């Protein structure tokens, strides 16, 4: 996770858009890192949840290329622990939605192996479709 946050010329519109979609006052984040320390998926991620928040604060739309936004499992652990009362799961969803709404799916439904599809409970597939396809 050798990712260094560089302060570059941010895009305020991006911050505004994500704030609006997520309903979160993203600038409240004070980078304490409780979210990253609580996240069960953090070891799979390329940037931590707190880095994700920082990039959005700085208007860095490159965050849309991070694996992290797709690895969020919407478990709401960070949500119940954030000392600023922020809901990061909503921020991650807003970031996913920016991509999905351009009709770009994160998974290829037809490439999912059929022998695995028949094993899955419907709730897994329905949730996967809602999170990974637009």
Choice from 34, 64, 73, 99 touching another protein (CB under 8 A): 73
Structure tokens at 121: 């409970």
Structure tokens at 116: 């695995």
CA geometry: angle 26, 69, 67, nearest 5 deg: 135
Structure tokens at 30: 């004070």
Determine, following the binding rule CB under 8 A, whether residue 32 of this chain makes contact with another protein. Answer: no
Determine, following the binding rule CB under 8 A, whether residue 25 of this chain makes contact with another protein. Answer: no
Q: In angstroms, rounded to a whole number, what is the distance separating the alpha carbons of residues 134 and 127? A: 12
Determine, following the binding rule CB under 8 A, whether residue 27 of this chain makes contact with another protein. Answer: no
Q: In angstroms, rounded to a whole number, what is the distance separating the alpha carbons of residues 130 and 76? A: 17
Nearer to another protein, 32 or 120 (CB): 120
At residue 19, the 3 state secondary structure works out as helix
Nearer to another protein, 57 or 79 (CB): 79
Sites of contact with another protein (CB under 8 A): 20-23, 40-41, 43-44, 70-71, 73-77, 79-80, 87, 89-90, 93-94, 97, 106-107, 109-110, 112, 114, 117-133
């Amino acid at each position: 996770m050798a990712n260094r946050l560089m302060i570059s010329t941010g895009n305020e519109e991006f911050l505004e858009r994500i704030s609006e979609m997520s309903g979160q006052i993203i600038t409240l984040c004070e980078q304490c890192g409780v979210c990253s320390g609580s996240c069960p998926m953090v070891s799979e991620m390329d940037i931590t949840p707190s880095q994700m928040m920082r990039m959005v604060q700085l208007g860095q739309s490159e965050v849309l290329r991070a694996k992290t936004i797709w690895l969020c499992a919407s478990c709401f652990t960070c949500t119940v622990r954030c000392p600023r009362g922020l809901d990061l799961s909503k921020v991650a969803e807003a970031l996913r939605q920016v991509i999905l709404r351009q009709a770009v799916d994160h998974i290829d439904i037809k490439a999912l192996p059929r022998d695995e599809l028949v094993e899955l409970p419907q709730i897994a597939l329905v949730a996967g479709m809602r999170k990974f396809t637009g």
